[in-house]
């Protein structure tokens, strides 16, 4: 046994090494950036079949993972609640939108309750600096805004989206706040050249700098309100797509289907769902109508192009700051393409895309967004709940897994579990004196290493009386009426109802749904 100076030296070496290991482990915590867009369909980005140019997202997918069967909760508020908490939306109090149905309806209180924690709140206990930029939409009152739910910095619209150049030109009350101070609203206009997609990106850069200066890992929830209606974009971006949609919605859907198959996101046997009921054949439109519709879709494409441009800025910032390699970036949509506005795209008297215009895609172009699936936002068919999901993490994804397509069925409830896992954080049973519901999701980190995740329970869905359950390759769906059963391995487009062929499967899945609904405050 060493004694004297030698013993002292060895103890000093041991203690120093221990401290170095501890500091090293702490410094290995990844930064986490969660990017969500608003009202985009499954096939709206290049690496998921689109003709819209998204080179930066495509590069993230190529250098990371892309999921072919990832689900959201079919509409903005429920999806955001579930994404932030790792619970089903009703457990967090947001099975509906921001209206409060009262204490007798705990699943529909219109804001996040005290029995859930946000990703920011959990990571804050483990040294993370958190920022939220963009759309919040998880409670209208100030005490429900991001800064009250664990975010150190915030810049965005807590009341929702719907505007791009100036909140005063939106027909509902909206505002822009920075750390709870209102900067712009219906009384104070934004500066010239201000555009949400740009500022929501650039404001987050300040927190990257702050986190690096303070030697902290950061969590950034970047929630773009684009391309939610009313469609507005910069003219230079619109012009890039003018004329590209004169071929019409039928032709674009078919082209996207073929690209999806080539990318192996959809199997070769999958059929394109029929054109949505009431949507006319493109050739039946007049030349004037075609030009108008081309402009509407060009504006929508421009908004997505702008998102990708900003993700390019974000990537550049991460590389410039030397934190790119250990930053995990996750990208997804809050629901499927939005069919609001009528059968075909429509606009007011102002030129589509400009500040005072008010345009919608309509069922026609939303049908394109959701290729090859049927139905839209709010529905539990694939057109409402299937989203792209891209994960990029140079330091954390096994090289042999990079660039692969993940076919394992996954859900937004898995994001919180993943963040807790990769950050080395602990998810508590109690927080601020309140009992916290256990996480519903599974960490996706085994997939990063090329392994499978084992999901014991099915995935469940409910919004506005639309219901569903996905168990293995079976999916049971109700659209405010009888239940339909689909074999997702054979029929991802949900064209053939198998409920009469497998009545026992219907009853089995229905029993599971009813048990879940009772447990999770679903009405």
Residue 3: per-residue pLDDT: 46
Taking CA atoms, 446 is separated from 319, 364, 421, in Å, by: 26, 39, 10
User: How far is residue 64's CA from residue 403's CA, in Å, rounded to a whole number?
Assistant: 5
Residue 489 scores a pLDDT above 50: yes
Topology classification of domain 456-523: Arylsulfatase, C-terminal domain (3.30.1120)
Q: For residue 171, what pLDDT is reported?
A: 67
Neighbours of 280 (CB within 10 A): 13
For residues 104-133, give the mean pLDDT: 98
**Other CB atoms within 10 A of residue 138 CB:** 26
Does pLDDT of 22 surpass 90?
A: no
pLDDT for 166: 83
Report pLDDT digits (tens) over 263-306.
Answer: 999 999 999 999 999 999 999 999 999 999 999 999 999 999 99
Phi, psi for residue 460 in degrees, rounded to 5: -120, 155
30-451, CATH topology level: Alkaline Phosphatase, subunit A (3.40.720)
Give pLDDT tens digits for 51-60: 999 999 999 9
Domain with CATH 3.40.720.10 in the chain: 30-451
Query: Beta partners for 176?
Result: 184
pLDDT at 20: 31
Which of the four pLDDT bands, split at 50, 70 and 90, describes residue 163? confident
Percent over 90 (pLDDT), the chain:
90
DSSP run (H or E) holding 84: helix 76-85
Angle, vertex CA 133, rays to CA 128 and CA 136, nearest 5: 105
Report CA-CA distances (Å) from 206 to 27, 39, 193: 20, 27, 20
Q: What is the DSSP letter of 487?
A: E
- Segment 397-410 mean pLDDT: 97
Alpha-carbon span 451 to 192, nearest angstrom: 50
Write phi, then psi, for 123 (nearest 5 degrees).
-70, -30
Residue 4 reports pLDDT greater than 50: no
Q: HSE of 282 in the Cβ direction (CA atoms, 13 Å)?
A: 19
* Cis status of the peptide bond prior to 32, with omega within 30 of 0: no
Domain span(s) for CATH 3.30.1120.10 in the chain:
456-523
Q: Helix (H, G, I), strand (E, B), or coil: what is residue 509?
A: helix
**Contact between residue 51 and residue 254 where contact means Cβ atoms under 8 Å apart:** no
Contacts of 134 (CB under 8 A, 6+ apart): 36, 156, 157, 196, 200, 221, 222, 223, 224, 225
Q: pLDDT value at position 23?
A: 31
Q: Give the separation between CA 475 and CA 483, rounded to whole angstroms.
A: 10
Element at 83 (helix H, strand E): helix 76-85
| pLDDT at site 14 | 38
Q: How far apart are the first and last CA of the chain?
A: 70
CA distances from 423 to 36, 176, 217, 291, 446 (A): 20, 31, 9, 50, 14
Q: Out of 96-100, 167-171, 250-254, which region has the weakest mean confidence (pLDDT)?
A: 167-171
Residue 91 has pLDDT above 50, yes or no: yes
- Range with the lowest mean pLDDT among 23-37, 377-391, 444-458? 23-37
Q: What is the mean pLDDT of residues 239-256?
A: 98
Beta strands in 125-271 (DSSP E): 129-135, 153-157, 176-178, 181-184, 218-223
- C-alpha 55: how far from chain center: 19
Exposed / middle / buried, residue 495 (Cβ in 10 Å: 0-12, 13-18, 19+): middle
Q: How confident is the model at residue 99 (pLDDT cuts 50, 70, 90)?
A: very high
Q: Is the pLDDT of residue 158 over 50?
A: yes
**How many degrees, rounded to 5, is the angle at CA 422 between CA 417 and CA 428?**
50
The share of the chain scoring above pLDDT 70, in percent, equals: 94
Predicted pLDDT at 518: 98
How many residues comprise the chain? 523
Residue 16's pLDDT is 38
Alpha-carbon separation of residue 353 from 44, 249, 294 (angstroms): 18, 19, 12
pLDDT digits (tens, 9 = 90+) for 197-227: 999 999 999 999 999 999 999 999 999 999 9
Q: Please compute, for residue 210, the number of CA atoms within 13 A of its CA located in the half-sphere on the CB side.
A: 14
Q: State the pLDDT confidence band at 74, using cuts at 50, 70 and 90.
A: very high
Residue 342: per-residue pLDDT: 96
pLDDT of 7 reads 41
Please spell the DSSP secondary structure of 433-471, one letter per residue: TEE-PPP-S---HHHHTT------S-EEEEETTEEEEEE
Predicted confidence band at 5 (pLDDT cuts at 50, 70, 90)? very low
Task: Report helix, strand or coil for 100.
Answer: coil
Beta strand spans in 174-312 (E)? 176-178, 181-184, 218-223
In angstroms, the CA 410 to CA 230 distance is 31
Average pLDDT for the chain:
94
Contacts of 124 (CB under 8 A, 6+ apart): 130, 150, 152
């Amino acid at each position: 046994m060493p004694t004297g100076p030698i013993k002292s030296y060895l103890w000093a070496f041991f203690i120093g090494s221990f401290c170095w290991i501890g500091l090293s482990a702490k410094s290995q915590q990844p930064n986490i950036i969660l990017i969500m867009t608003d009202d985009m369909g499954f096939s709206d980005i290049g690496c998921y079949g689109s003709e819209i140019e998204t080179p930066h997202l495509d590069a993230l997918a190529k250098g990371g993972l892309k999921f072919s069967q990832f689900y959201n909760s079919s509409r903005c508020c429920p999806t955001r609640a579930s994404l932030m908490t790792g619970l089903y939306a009703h457990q967090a109090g947001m099975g509906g939108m921001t209206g409060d149905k009262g204490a007798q309806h705990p699943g529909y209180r219109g804001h996040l309750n005290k029995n859930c924690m946000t990703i920011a709140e959990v990571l804050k206990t483990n040294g993370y600096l958190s920022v939220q930029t963009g759309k919040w939409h998880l409670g209208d009152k100030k005490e429900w805004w991001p800064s009250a739910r664990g975010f150190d910095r915030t810049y965005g619209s807590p009341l929702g989206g719907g505007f791009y150049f100036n909140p005063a030109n939106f027909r509902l009350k909206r505002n822009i706040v920075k750390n709870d101070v209102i900067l712009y609203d219906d009384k104070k206009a934004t500066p010239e050249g201000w555009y949400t997609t740009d500022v929501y990106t650039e404001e987050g850069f300040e927190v990257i700098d702050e986190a690096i200066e303070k030697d902290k890992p950061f969590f950034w929830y970047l929630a773009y309100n684009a391309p939610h209606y009313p469609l507005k974009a910069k003219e230079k971006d619109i012009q890039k797509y003018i004329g590209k949609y004169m071929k019409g919605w039928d032709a674009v859907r078919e082209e996207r289907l073929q690209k999806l198959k080539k990318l192996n996101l959809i199997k070769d046997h999958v059929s394109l769902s029929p054109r949505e009921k009431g949507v006319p054949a493109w050739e039946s439109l007049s030349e004037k109508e075609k030009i108008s519709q081309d402009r509407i879709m060009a504006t929508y494409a421009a908004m997505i192009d702008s998102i990708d441009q900003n993700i390019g800025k974000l990537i550049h910032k991460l590389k410039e700051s030397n934190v790119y390699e250990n930053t995990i970036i996750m990208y997804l949509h809050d629901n499927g393409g939005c069919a609001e506005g009528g059968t075909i795209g429509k606009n007011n008297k102002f030129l589509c895309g400009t500040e005072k215009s008010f345009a919608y895609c309509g069922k026609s172009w939303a049908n394109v967004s959701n290729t090859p699936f049927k139905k839209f936002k709010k529905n539990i068919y694939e057109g409402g709940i299937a989203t792209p999901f891209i994960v990029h993490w140079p330091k954390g994804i096994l090289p042999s897994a990079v660039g692969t397509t993940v076919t394992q069925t996954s859900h937004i409830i898995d994001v919180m579990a993943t963040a807790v896992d990769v950050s080395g954080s602990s998810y508590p049973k109690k927080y601020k004196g309140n009992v916290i519901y256990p996480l519903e999701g599974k960490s996706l980190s085994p997939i990063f290493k090329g392994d499978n995740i084992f999901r014991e329970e099915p995935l469940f869905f409910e919004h506005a009386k639309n219901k569903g359950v996905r168990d293995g390759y079976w999916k049971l769906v109700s659209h405010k009426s009888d239940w339909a059963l689909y074999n997702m391995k054979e029929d991802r487009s949900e064209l053939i109802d198998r409920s009469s062929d497998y009545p026992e499967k219907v009853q089995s899945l229905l029993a599971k749904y009813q048990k879940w609904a009772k447990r999770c405050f679903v009405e």
